[in-house]
A = this chain, B = another copy of it.
Amino acid sequence: MAPYYVGVDLGGTKIYTGLADTEGRLLSEVKVPTAAENGYIAVVERIASTIGEVCSRAGVSAGTVSAVGVGAPGPLNPETGLIHLAPNLGWENVPLGNDLQGLIQLPVLLENDANLAALGEHRFGTGRGVSDLVFITVSTGIGGGLILNNTLYRGAGFAAGEIGHTVVDPDGPSCSCGSRGCLETLASGRAIGRQARELIASGGGRGMLTQAGGVADQVTAVTVFEAATGGDPEALVLVRKAARYLGIGIANILNVLNPPLVVLGGGVMESGAMILELINAETRAYALREAYAAARLVPAELGDRMGLMGAIALAIR
């Protein structure tokens, strides 16, 4: 009986679970709502039941599963399996690793979701065969993960890769982290939507407002990217501004780590080819010539399976 591996991508809205063989080939997968409103224990039980389901769908006995990798949001300790804080789930200091392991009687490995996305792209995505890469997700927030010398680099407090909280404008807006001018406050999907709504509130942004059916509250980063793609000049200014800050943030990483590959994922990156081109140009303007020359900037390959495949890579390892 070949060993099997389970990956679980635990998010604020859904639990995405898959079963794979030793090569990471997905044999079955299942997505269910997280239903965090039912409380922590209910979520743990729900995860356990998805694991049972992917096994039964593939006709595999749960006893032949060697390990379960779980990706979860928020600061957590992969060694103790403790999630320190997950505001989206309403959790604080929950021992998810131990509780799940107790329930399913299989070894459980827990890891930060952005780290797992980096691991997934390295093992199964666009980073295959590359020893070092920086993964950056630009979505509602901005996060990242580092693969250095073929290994996930976690940092002394398991907090490495927090690219969204590097300061790219010391006079920028305050950030929820306590600092100001963080990349996330200037270039995340949330920031881009906020900037558009501010523009509308001050009397501008008609094109974006129309794009959102005339309802200012409905204007999000998606609206901005759609309007920019349609040639709306005010939307283009917002997109260029975000790209400039992302370029500065990436250039700073290139100048410090000099990686051969930067993998860009997340909803904002999936808004079209324009954003990657703009980011690339800004990165080139701010990075050292030799650091820019050594690095390829590429889109992530695994789409919404990124976290899941990272969890499977974690389990296989």
Give the interface of A toward B (CB within 8 A): 75, 132, 144, 146, 148-149, 151, 153-163, 165-170, 177-180, 244-245, 248, 251-253, 255-260, 285-291, 293-295
Name the residue on B nearest A251 (C-beta).
B167
Name, among A75, A154, A159, A253, the residue most crowded by chain B CB atoms within 10 Å (CB to CB).
A159
Contact A291 B157, beta carbon cutoff 8 Å: yes
A289 proximity list for chain B (CB < 8 A): 177-178
Contact A166 B244, beta carbon cutoff 8 Å: no
Give 8 A-B pairs besides A162-B256, A180-B286 with Cβ atoms closer than 8 angstroms. A146-B256, A159-B291, A160-B256, A162-B291, A166-B256, A167-B248, A169-B170, A256-B257
Question: Taking the nearest CB of chain B, how far is it from the CB of A147, in angstroms?
Answer: 12
* Stoichiometry (number of copies): 2
Complex Cα spacing A156 to B153, Å? 16
Name the residue on B nearest A282 (C-beta).
B170
> Contacts A167-B248, A179-B285 hold; do A161 and B256 have CB atoms under 8 A apart?
yes
**A-B pairs with the 8 shortest C-beta distances?**
A155-B258, A157-B294, A156-B260, A160-B258, A156-B294, A166-B252, A159-B258, A162-B255
